[in-house]
Structure 1
Amino acid sequence: MKKFGLLLAGGIAAVVLLSTIGPMVGLLVSLVLLYFIFKQFLKANSTGAKIGLGIIGAIVLVASIHNIPAIIGVAAAYVLYLVYKKWNENKHTKIKEESDPFVNFEKQWNELKNY
C-alpha cells in the first residue's frame, strides 16, 4: 500500500512537472535576460542608455513575473525527488542488512540455538 501511495504521488508530481516545463524555461530565460540587462545597466554611462535598459528591464521583469507558476513545477520536481528517495530507501536498507556480517551471524546463531 505504501508503494501505491508513492506511485500515485510520483505520477501526479510528474504530470505537474511536465505541464509546467514551458513556464520553467520561460522563467529561466527571463531571469537570465534580466541579469544581463542589470549588468549592462550598471555599466552604462549615458542617461539615455540607462533609461532604455530600465524600460527593457521592466518589460523582462513583467515577463518573469508572468512565469511564476514555474515555482509549482520546481515543487513538483522536489516531490519527485522525495518519492524516488523513499522508493529506493527500502532496497538500500535490505542490501545493507544482508551484507552486514554481524546481522548474518546473529541469524545463524539463533538458527543453531533452535536445533
Structure 2
Amino acid sequence: MKKFLLFIAGLIALGILLANLGPMVLLGASVWLLYIVFKKFLGSDSTAGKIGWVVLGLIILSFAVSNVYSVVGLAAAYVLYLIYKKWSSKKEDTSGAVKSNDPFTNFEKQWAELNK
C-alpha cells in the first residue's frame, strides 16, 4: 500500500512539474537576461545608456515576476526526487536474522547479543 501511495504522489508531482516546465524555463531565461542587463548597466558610461538598461531591466523583471509561480514546479521536482529516494531505498533487516554467511560477521552479532 505504501508503494502505491508513493506511486500516486509521484504521478501528481510529475504532472505538476510538467505543467510548470514552460514557466520554469521562462523564469530561468528572465533571470539570465537580468544578469546580462545588470552587467551592461554597470559597463555603460552614458546616462541615456543607463536609463535604457534600467527600462529594459524593468521589462524583463516584469516577465520574471509573472513566472514566479513556477517555483511550485521546482518544489514538485524536489518532491519527485524525495519519492524516488524513498522508493529505491533498501529496507534493513531488523528481525535479527543474519543474511551473511561470513562467520566473522555472525560471530560479532552473536557476541553483541550475549553481552547485552
* Structure-1-length-normalised TM-score: 0.81
Q: Which structure is higher in helix share?
A: 1
SS in 1 for 2:68: coil
Q: Does the 8 A contact of 1:17 with 1:74 survive in 2?
A: yes
- The answer for the alignment partner of 1:90 in structure 2 is 90
Distance 1:13 1:100, change over 3 A: farther
The amino acid of 1:105's aligned partner reads N
- The answer for the alignment partner of 1:55 in structure 2 is 55
* Structure-2-length-normalised TM-score: 0.80
Q: Distance in 2 between matches of 1:75 and 1:103?
A: 46
- The answer for the alignment partner of 2:6 in structure 1 is 6
How many percent identity over aligned positions? Answer: 46
- The answer for the alignment partner of 1:105 in structure 2 is 106
After TM superposition, give the deviation of residue 105 of structure 1 in Å: 3.2
Structure 1 unaligned runs (5+)? 110-115
1:53-89 CA distances to partner (integer Å, 9 max, x unpaired)? 0000000000000001110000000000000000011
Distance 1:59 1:99, change over 3 A: farther
Structure 2 unaligned runs (5+)? 111-116
Q: Does the 8 A contact of 2:34 with 2:61 survive in 1?
A: yes
- The answer for the alignment partner of 1:20 in structure 2 is 20
1:23-80 CA distances to partner (integer Å, 9 max, x unpaired)? 0000000100000000110111100000000000000000000001110000000000
SS in 2 for 1:57: helix
User: Between Structure 1 and Structure 2, how many residues are aligned?
Assistant: 104
Q: Does the 8 A contact of 2:100 with 2:106 survive in 1?
A: no
Distance 1:105 1:57, change over 3 A: same
After TM superposition, give the deviation of residue 5 of structure 1 in Å: 1.1
After TM superposition, give the deviation of residue 90 of structure 1 in Å: 2.2
Q: Distance in 2 between matches of 1:69 and 1:103?
A: 57
